[in-house]
Amino acid sequence: MARWLISNIITVKEAEEFLSDYSGKQPFNHPVIHRICEAFKRVVSATILPDSPGYWRVEERNQGHVEHVDTGRQRTKPKGHMEWCKYGASILLTPPTAFKGGRFSYTNNGVETLSPEKHYLSAAVHTSDEFHRIEANTGGRVALLLFLPISHSEESSNASSA
């Protein structure tokens, strides 16, 4: 289990572009996504596997998201629908003043919550065995989600934990 926060990985203008223009699962050939993936590779000493099932998407879930890991598993569900996923990431695209609630929390050992102010434009990156959840919100919280099948030698020692 490991997690990192990469602060200010995208700009306000890039967040606005993602908010206005994307739906469904997307491949990794977008230039901003490519830059984000390069930053991930530096943090986790990893290589994104070519021709992989990995993808990214823009998601709005006002109902929040139950506790889960990015393989699709839940505490009561031992097998997930995305067992290939090795790392996940979330970047908050909407300004924290645009919604109420919607905090992102890691829940493996107690609860560690990432405030919307800290999460905005920043990537919460984690191994796919990190349980996390999003609380319900009002006002339209939107995040950019990435699901990465990668190979890695060892995690970078210079990465900062979230």
Please report, in tens digits, the pLDDT of each residue of the chain (162 residues total): 889 999 999 999 999 999 997 788 888 888 999 899 889 888 887 776 655 778 899 999 999 988 888 876 666 666 667 877 888 999 999 999 999 999 999 998 888 999 999 999 999 999 888 999 999 999 999 999 998 877 655 433 334 444
Show Cβ contacts of residue 105 under 8 Å, excluding neighbours closer than 6 positions. 111, 112, 113, 114, 132, 133, 134, 135
Q: What is the CATH number of domain 3-151?
A: 2.60.120.620
pTM of the model: 0.86
Could you tell me the residue ranges of all domains in the chain? Answer: 3-151
